[in-house]
Structure 1
């Protein structure tokens, strides 16, 4: 029973169904690993051991009674941006360090309905604004492949728990690459679905027109199991789309790689700052897909230089609007002994928000202010449409588009990159969110320092099944997704 954390989601599901082990035994196994290993990784903000064991016992009863779903009894970790009833939900911020949610996010509620067992809530960049998970209030989560490096962000805790085998899969959110980049840094598979595919109800908002929840796991198959639970229309979310949901697991072999036209944007492979090892591993993975029958097609994406400035006008503008509710009045952090209402607002927000969150609020408020709204925000929205059209034109000739997920491997903790350097690191991921497209990261090897490299595949709208299928078949022909960091091999 000491190697349960090495089993895939399918193997765990079959093991529970065949009574090879119980959900309580599986949950206790993960809780022991968390107690032993997470002191080094620092991925969890809150571990819900008592609740998890109660859910595991309920899952065992459901399995015994024949009322189980495919995932009943499997443990999961949730990014601490999803509201969880009766459990602290912080969004990684001092501002919400004392917030106990009175309700469940739809993603969490669907997980409970499927019988998933919540191990806890994991660390992240504050309010999902960042790329490193060096959290100013809860501390820095470490990359399991090298504890001196970051796991990426903002879903860095979600990536770290899976890479360290402290949960079999995890939920993440992606506003500008926050699933794909940490998946790349930690050697995992992570899917950012089409905007509107997964409910945002109960997911604390950063930039509402781009935020999207998705699964993070070791393989495309594992992600498909979680997507079957997460995806679907939700009447509580006005941006959720009423569209039939695929059975992502059944469709894992539904797309033939043979004849698949993969677009290779020449602008993406000439970006300044693209690491040589990253470029080499991505090109090797594309060569492998070509050997499997895919057709590589060079394409132009002419709006590439507009991605970063467009995103960093629109996203902060939406953030400044969304975060105005955190004012120290109704819930969350409240400064001590305010002299008047203005002092309450100022000090609650300046003390409750970290530096990066304050920076983005200021940028966004400026872009939305009188005299600048048309010059900046409206202009950025027009450019956003051009970016979307650039992709749609490309999809007239190709099925998917390939790119690195990030220009480098994981940064060192404390690298102190300037905001501009950090923002430029999102060059390959931002456009997907601006256009609302789905995209997936797949591990494709390592750099000279043994840090993981990721390939990103971008699909047309609603093509999550296709992306999962292509990566699944690539993973049947390679073994990068099976590689484990040394810390993951430790037994509790």
Structure 2
């Protein structure tokens, strides 16, 4: 199969720009002992230190960039670093009070989530030179192959492979992925992490590219990946604790966080199905049911 030479040039240019960007960042963000102490903090403890201002947003950002650069050199889990991040961190550090419950917390963003004025190629040639106006499987022709950061001989799962790999390798405390038939849950499972696929429209889909936009019943939904259930719940609580989503996206479900239900010790009743025509289970998986 022939490849359009114009696309090959664009891919090569993209790869060169990415390499130059990483080299520049590595010279300004060093993974020294202080940075290692930060990235090794439990996510809940990290949030507490950011809330108390024991750590600044800039300190935390620089530490995680340094770690992510080291990690991606080994497992190739990062496509780009968002340059505006330093400006955002500086603004947070200049505030008299913290901006909210996730103040200063670095979050890795899967490429199918738009970032304002930033090129999001979704690992596809057609998207590789088009900047987005709003806020993308584990191997592709632009970035190469992503590995499992826990065991490089194992697959990372997909399609949110980089999101799980970077969290498991301490390159980010939280990551955003997207899920249609397991694209957040599978890579989280492959790395021993926690995730949750939300109901459609529980989280806003604004700025999230749909791989099957014409099939409404198979919508991809955004979801978070975290080291443990406690950290995951803190992020969900912060996102759902007010009506901010519904204020700018009327299609989101206007149901706030229910602390009483969350804190209840009453046993849950969980329903599940064992067969789905679109994604049939393998025979060895069926034996588990």
| Same fold per superposition (TM over 0.5) | yes
Among residues 163, 166, 190, which one is paired with 2:168 in the alignment? 163
Corresponding position: 1:151 with 2:163: no
Distance (whole Å) between structure 2 residues aligned to residue 211 and residue 239 of structure 1: 15
Aligned match for 2:124, one of 77, 90, 93: 93
For residue 245 of structure 1, what is the aligned residue in structure 2? 256
2:98 and 2:73 map into 1 onto residues whose CA distance is 37
Q: Which residue of 1 aligns with 2:237?
A: 228
The Cα shift of 1:188 comes to 0.3
Asked if the contact 2:51–2:103 (Cα under 8 Å) also holds between the matched residues in 1, the reply is no
* Equivalence for 1:381: none
Contact preservation (8 Å) 1:205, 1:211: yes
Could you say what the CA RMSD is over the residues aligned between the two structures, in angstroms?
2.8
The 5 A counterparts of 1:358-437 are 424=282
C-alpha separation in 2, matches of 1:140 and 1:180: 20
The answer (yes or no) to whether the contact 1:81–1:92 under 8 Å persists in 2 is no
Q: Which has the higher strand share?
A: 1
Q: 1:8 aligned to 42, 45, 63, which one?
A: 42
- When residues 67 and 162 of structure 1 are mapped into structure 2, their CA distance, relative to the original with a 3 A threshold, is closer
- List runs of 5+ in structure 1 lacking aligned partners: 105-123, 126-132, 266-300, 313-422, 429-454, 456-492
1:59 aligned partner: 92
How far the C-alpha of 1:31 sits from its partner, in A, is 1.2
Residue 201 of structure 2 aligns to a residue whose secondary structure is coil
Aligned in 2, Cα 1:256/1:52: closer, same or farther, shift over 3 Å? Answer: same
- Residue 310, structure 1, aligned to residue 278, structure 2: yes
Compared with structure 1, are the counterparts of its residues 90 and 238 closer, same or farther at alpha carbon in structure 2 (3 Å cutoff)?
farther
Residue aligning to 1:41: 75
> Which position in structure 1 is the counterpart of 2:195?
190
Distance in 2 between residues matched to 1:238 and 1:75, nearest whole Å: 27
Question: Relative to 1, partners in 2 of residues 1:44 and 1:19: Cα closer, same or farther, differing over 3 Å?
Answer: same
> Would the alpha carbon gap of residues 33 and 251 (structure 1) be closer, same or farther in structure 2, given more than 3 Å must change?
farther
Aligned counterpart, 1:204: 209
The alpha carbon displacement at 1:99 in A equals 1.9
Distance 1:252 1:94, change over 3 A: farther
Aligned residues: 246
The answer on whether the counterparts of 2:175 and 2:224 sit within 8 Å (CA) in structure 1 is: yes
Cα separation, partners in 2 of 1:262 and 1:56, compared to 1, 3 Å:
same
Alpha-carbon offset, residue 95 of structure 1: 1.8
Secondary structure at the aligned position of 2:234 is classed as helix
**TM-aligned CA deviation for residue 262 of structure 1:** 5.4
1:176 maps to which residue? 181
Say which one has the larger Rg: 1
TM-score using structure 2 length: 0.76
Q: Give the whole-Å Cα distance in 1 for the aligned partners of 2:191 and 2:163.
A: 10
Deviation of 1:229 (Å): 4.3
